[in-house]
RNA sequence: GGACGGGUGGGUGAGUGGCUAAAACCAGCAGACUGUAAAUCUGCCGCUCCUUGCGGGCUACGGAGGUUCGAAUCCUCCCCCGUCCA
């Protein structure tokens, strides 16, 4: 698409609306799109992220994919790194104050972050900014003026703040600053649209107010639903361990995606793939009426998501591997390999499991064996004291639990 | 500044001197069943040693000391959180 020419507004709007939780306000978005089509000036679309966790998972990609949609339509994607606000810590969700990160740590996080983000966004078309550039230089006076633009009662309307007050939870004054600083970012960036998960709604709305206070048109707040994690209940997050990292091996991602519940599959289709909504409705109907087996729908989902990150070929291989191991109950064609050096001393299997990071302690390893979760070359090991002979070169296949396979090579 | 309440295992939360590696629930893990889904059922769920046993040792109830044969439980000091008053 040539710069300065845009698709028809209705078409853009339909594309952008897919999967969204809320657009505040939709008429404003339409007006902005019309304006941009008329002037040939792309919209500035902001997405702020916290550089605290360097690894991104599918939950983060929901909003990134939406930013990508804007980018696809020729608008400007602004990827804002909240390196300054990370010190404050977003109070959304958790009540903990985050530890301040060293700037070096932040730098490193940002680097790995961007590498991953560019699997979705087009690096050449992405404007990357860091809010320490302006917030770090802000004078005390300016900070006070910013605070003067917002009323405490309004701030305390926020669900998170209110509930903490009511439940006598700790609550520090600096946390009130977070929404204001994020809002100020929108002023500096002159954002037309800001994206966020639904839990960001409050912050995004304050952005609208603050922009107005600073004499700017208000940004449109576009929120995306929160992706539910593998447990089917809670938000996908690293700390809950119910996540799928985008850098994980295709085989891993495939297995994890297949383990989600059938119900959850539909929201994954909606939020993590480019299947159009009507198409998803059709698939869902086919599954409901028994025309399409749910497992096939899920495999297609897994395939599609993996192809996006690792390519078509890797996705096909992961699917084949899955079929082989779990449907036909065969050993995997390719298990991660691990080399062991030869030793005249036989080694306790339980100790080996710990060494291989399959179990976190001897106790846990023994437990795993006792419970029948360990196999060597397809033979279940029942003896806790089982030793492994490492005297001769050779190889064997170790299975620990449902999903972990390791090909061990003694050399 | 004053008065009061509280800090227990990944989470919630019982437990007020020995029966407590610490109830219960959640999360997690394994097995069975299956579509590696969900649901369900069974077992496990601090670390470590061995002769794998209702076995031995070690560590653990905010921190440091102390009392006691024995402390998550009592005392002292400290740190942290909250409530009310000012």
CA A364 to C1' B68 (Å) is 37
Q: How many CB atoms lie within 10 A of CB A264?
A: 19
Nearest nucleotide, CA A399 to C1' = B30
Q: What's residue A359's pLDDT?
A: 87
Nearest nucleotide, CA A329 to C1' = B36
The answer to whether the beta carbon of residue A378 comes closer than 7 angstroms to any atom of strand B is no
For residues A204, A210, A216, A221, the Cα torsion angle rounded to the nearest 10 degrees is 10
Q: What's residue A16's pLDDT?
A: 92
Q: What's residue A63's pLDDT?
A: 94
Nearest nucleotide, CA A229 to C1' = B27
pTM listed for this prediction: 0.83
Paired strand residues for A193 = A45, A220
Residues 228-267/A with CB within 7 Å of nucleic chain B are 231-232, 241-242, 254-256, 258-262
How far is the C-alpha of A260 from the C-alpha of A280, rounded, in Å?
Answer: 17
pLDDT digits (tens, 9 = 90+) for A273-283: 999 888 999 99
Which nucleotides in chain B lie less than 7 Å from some protein C-beta? 27-32, 35-39, 43-49, 51-52, 81-83
For the record, the structure tokens of A329 come out as: 């109950």
Q: Which residues of chain A have pLDDT under 70?
A: 1-4, 53, 88-102
pLDDT digits (tens, 9 = 90+) for A75-122: 999 999 988 887 766 655 444 445 556 677 778 888 888 889 999 999
For the record, the structure tokens of A350 come out as: 């339980």
- Hey, CA dihedral for A56, A58, A62, A68, is it positive or negative? positive
What is the number of residues in chain A? 411
The answer to whether the beta carbon of residue A162 comes closer than 7 angstroms to any atom of strand B is no
Phi, psi at A195, each rounded to 5°? -100, 155
Please say whether the beta carbons of A198 and A228 come within 8 A: no
Please say whether the beta carbons of A195 and A207 come within 8 A: no
Prediction ipTM score? 0.83
How far is the C-alpha of A237 from the C-alpha of A92, rounded, in Å?
Answer: 13
3-state secondary structure chain A: CCCCCCCCHHHHHHHHHCCCCEEECHHHHHHHHHHHHHHCCCCEEEEEECCCCCCCEHHHHHHHHHHHHHHHCCCEEEEEECCCHHHHCCCCCCCCCCCCCCHHHHHHHHHHHHHHHCCCCCHHHEEEEECHHHHCCCCHHHHHHHHHCCCHHHHCCCHHHHHHHHCCCCCCHHHHHHHHHHHHHHHHHCCCEEEEEHHHHHHHHHHHHHHHHCCCCCCEEEEECCCECCCCCCECCCCCCCCCECCCCHHHHHHHHHCCCHHHHHHHHHHHCCCCHHHHHHHHHHHHCCCCCHHHHHHHHHHHHHHHHHCHHHHHHHHHHHHHHHHCCCCCCCCCEEEECCCCCCEEHHHHHHHCCCCCCHHHHHHHHHCCCEEECCEECCCCCCEECCCCCEEEEEEECCCEEEEEEEC
For the record, the structure tokens of A95 come out as: 């009540």
The answer to whether the beta carbon of residue A361 comes closer than 7 angstroms to any atom of strand B is yes
Paired strand residues for A388 = A347
Nearest nucleotide, CA A404 to C1' = B36
3-state secondary structure A86-125: HHHCCCCCCCCCCCCCCHHHHHHHHHHHHHHHCCCCCHHH
How far is the C-alpha of A151 from the C-alpha of A288, rounded, in Å?
Answer: 50
User: Which residues, 6+ apart, have CB-to-CB distance to A193 below 8 Å?
Assistant: A29, A32, A43, A44, A45, A46, A70, A219, A220, A221, A222
């Amino acid at each position: 698409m040539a710069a300065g020419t845009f698709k028809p507004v209705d078409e853009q709007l339909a594309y952008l609306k897919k999967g969204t939780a809320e657009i505040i306000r939709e008429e404003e978005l339409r007006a902005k799109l019309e304006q941009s089509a008329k002037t040939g000036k792309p919209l500035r679309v902001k997405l702020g992220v916290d550089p605290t966790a360097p690894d991104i998972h599918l939950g983060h990609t929901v909003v990134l994919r939406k930013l990508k949609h804007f980018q696809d339509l020729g608008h400007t994607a602004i990827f804002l790194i909240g390196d300054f606000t990370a010190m404050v810590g977003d109070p959304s969700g958790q009540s903990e104050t985050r530890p301040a990160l060293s700037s070096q740590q932040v730098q490193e996080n940002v680097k790995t972050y961007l590498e991953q983000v560019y699997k979705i966004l087009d690096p050449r078309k992405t404007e990357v900014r860091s809010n320490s550039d302006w917030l770090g230089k802000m004078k005390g006076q300016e900070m006070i003026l910013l605070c003067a633009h917002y009323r405490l009662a309004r701030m305390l309307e926020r669900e998170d703040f209110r509930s903490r007050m009511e439940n006598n939870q700790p609550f520090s004054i600096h946390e009130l600053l977070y929404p204001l600083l994020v809002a100020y970012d929108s002023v500096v960036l002159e954002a037309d649209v800001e994206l966020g998960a639904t839990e960001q709604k409050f912050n995004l709305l304050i952005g609208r107010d603050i922009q107005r206070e600073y004499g700017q048109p208000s940004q449109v707040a576009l929120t995306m639903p929160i992706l539910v994690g593998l447990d089917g209940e809670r938000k996908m997050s690293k700390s809950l361990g119910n996540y799928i990292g985008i850098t994980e091996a295709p085989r891993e991602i495939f297995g994890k995606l297949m383990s989600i519940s059938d119900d959850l599959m539909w929201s994954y289709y909606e939020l993590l793939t480019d299947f159009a909504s009507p198409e998803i409705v059709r698939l869902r109907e086919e599954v409901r009426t028994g025309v399409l087996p749910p497992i096939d729908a899920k495999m297609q989902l897994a395939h599609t998501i993996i192809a996006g990150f690792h390519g078509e070929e890797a996705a096909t291989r992961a699917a084949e591997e899955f079929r082989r191991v779990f449907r036909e109950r065969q050993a995997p064609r390719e298990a991660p390999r691990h080399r062991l050096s030869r030793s005249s001393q036989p080694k306790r299997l339980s100790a080996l499991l710990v060494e291989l990071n399959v179990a976190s302690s001897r106790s846990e390893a023994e437990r795993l064996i006792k419970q029948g979760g360990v196999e060597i070359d397809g033979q279940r090991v029942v003896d806790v004291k089982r030793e492994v002979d490492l005297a001769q070169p050779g190889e064997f296949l170790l299975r620990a639990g449902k999903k972990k396979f390791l090909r061990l090579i003694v050399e």
